[in-house]
Structure 1
Amino acid sequence: MLLSPQAERNWEGLCSVLEDVLEAQSHRQLLALELGSGTGQHVIRFAQKIPFVTWQPSDITEESLDSIKAYIAATHVKSVLQPVHLDASAPWEKWAGLSHRSCDVIVAINLLQYSSFETAKGVFTGAAQILKPNGLLITYGVYAINGTITPSCNENLDAELRKMNPEWGLPDIDVLRQLAYGNGIRLERIIEMEEYFKCLIFRKLD
């Protein structure tokens, strides 16, 4: 099993956001897709705390898929499905066989920072097809706003990411808002989190 210290630090705050935005639907069973599940720590914790959601974890690397499977086996959680290989930059028809309007929620934690713009576009075009009407797309990370990155620690993070891969870096909230709008999705809320991180809550329009 892989272990991410950051995931151990931030899962509770993220879980509180999920509980808050999903509370009104707690009377029914929801299906949530996590894009870029990484180690699997988040999805396991979410499943343990939010029993009315069935989780579909996904990732692009075999190492992460193996780690997620190991966490599922070790914790015996019943509401986490076996992970699937999913490349968010691919057309939605290739999203591991997920059907049109099948998901209530899509979650992407620290995915857009470590992705190309093609992947960001894929997330929104895919979400537009996979989400049910009024479904939620929730992204978490550090962002630029109107082309500006503040404070200096976030500028440093952006520079580090671009050194690792020139296509990576802090996505701009306004660009994401436009991408969403072009796919029939509206940015509904921005929730301030720890250390300049934010949760963006997008809703698929009818």
Structure 2
Amino acid sequence: MLVSPQAESNWEGLCAVLEDVLEDQSHRQLFALEVGSGTGQHVIHFAQKIPFITWQPSDITEEYHNSIKAYIAATNTKSVLQPIHLDVSEPWEKSGLAGKSCDAVIAINLLQYSSFKTAEGVFSGAGQILRQNGVLITYGPYAMNGIITPSCNEDLDVELRKTNPEWGLPDMDVLRQLAYGNGLRLERMVEMEEYNKCLIFRKL
């Protein structure tokens, strides 16, 4: 099992946002997809804390698939399915995800480590697989109208772009437009720890 200290430190705040956003639907069993599940820590914690959601983890890396499987086995968590290979820039049906099958899609710390093509894929795929009134939740640091604050996020953006010129903090306005083009609207923004934000998009 792989361990991400960052995932271990931020899962409770993310879980509180999930509970708040989905509380009004807690009377029924929901189905949620995590895009880029990484180690698997988030999805296991969420499943243990929120019993009314069945989780589908996904990643493109075999090493992470093995870690997710190990967490599922070690915790005996019944509401987390085996991970699937999902390249968000490809059609999502290739991964066996059916249209209008999801109540929630969550992407944690994914967009700043991705190309614009990946961001397009996240919003396009979510727009297709979310049921009406479903939510897409993205978490991480963002630019706002081309401006990045505070200085630590500016530094992060510079470092990311040095690593890969296609990476960097995504701009909220650009994401809002991407969402709108895929039948989603930005419902609200939640301020999180360490200058991160949760953006909650609702399927119209």
Which bin holds the TM-score, normalised by the shorter protein?
over 0.9
Structure 1 Cα separation of the partners of residues 16 and 67 of structure 2 = 24
Describe the SS at the equivalent of 1:135.
Answer: strand
2:48 corresponds to = 48
Offset at 1:154? Answer: 0.2
Instruction: Tell me if 1:2 matches 2:2.
Output: yes
Give per-residue Cα distances to partners, 1:76-105, cap 9 Å, x unaligned: 0000000001011112322x1111100000
Give per-residue Cα distances to partners, 1:94-132, cap 9 Å, x unaligned: 2x1111100000000001011100000001111111000
Structure 2 Cα separation of the partners of residues 92 and 66 of structure 1 = 21
Describe the SS at the equivalent of 2:97.
Answer: coil
2:72 corresponds to = 72
CA RMSD of aligned residues (A): 0.6
1:88 corresponds to = 88
Structure 2 Cα separation of the partners of residues 68 and 160 of structure 1 = 28
1:138 corresponds to = 137
- Percent identity over the alignment is 80
Runs (4+) off by over 4 Å: none
2:29 corresponds to = 29
Question: Counterparts of 1:44-193 in structure 2 under 5 Å?
Answer: 44-94=44-94, 96-193=95-192
Structure 1 Cα separation of the partners of residues 97 and 126 of structure 2 = 11
Deviates more, 1:83-92 or 1:21-30: 83-92
Length-normalised TM-score, structure 2 = 0.99
AA aligned opposite 2:135: L
2:18 corresponds to = 18
- 2:86 touches 2:92 (CA, 8 Å); kept in 1? no
Describe the SS at the equivalent of 1:170.
Answer: coil
Give 5+ residue unaligned stretches, structure 1. none
Length-normalised TM-score, structure 1 = 0.98
Structure 2 Cα separation of the partners of residues 100 and 202 of structure 1 = 17
AA aligned opposite 2:77: V
Structure 1 Cα separation of the partners of residues 130 and 60 of structure 2 = 20
Give per-residue Cα distances to partners, 1:132-156, cap 9 Å, x unaligned: 0110000000000000011110011
Offset at 1:28? Answer: 0.1
Describe the SS at the equivalent of 2:6.
Answer: helix
Structure 1 Cα separation of the partners of residues 149 and 91 of structure 2 = 33
Give 5+ residue unaligned stretches, structure 2. none
AA aligned opposite 2:41: Q
Describe the SS at the equivalent of 1:63.
Answer: helix
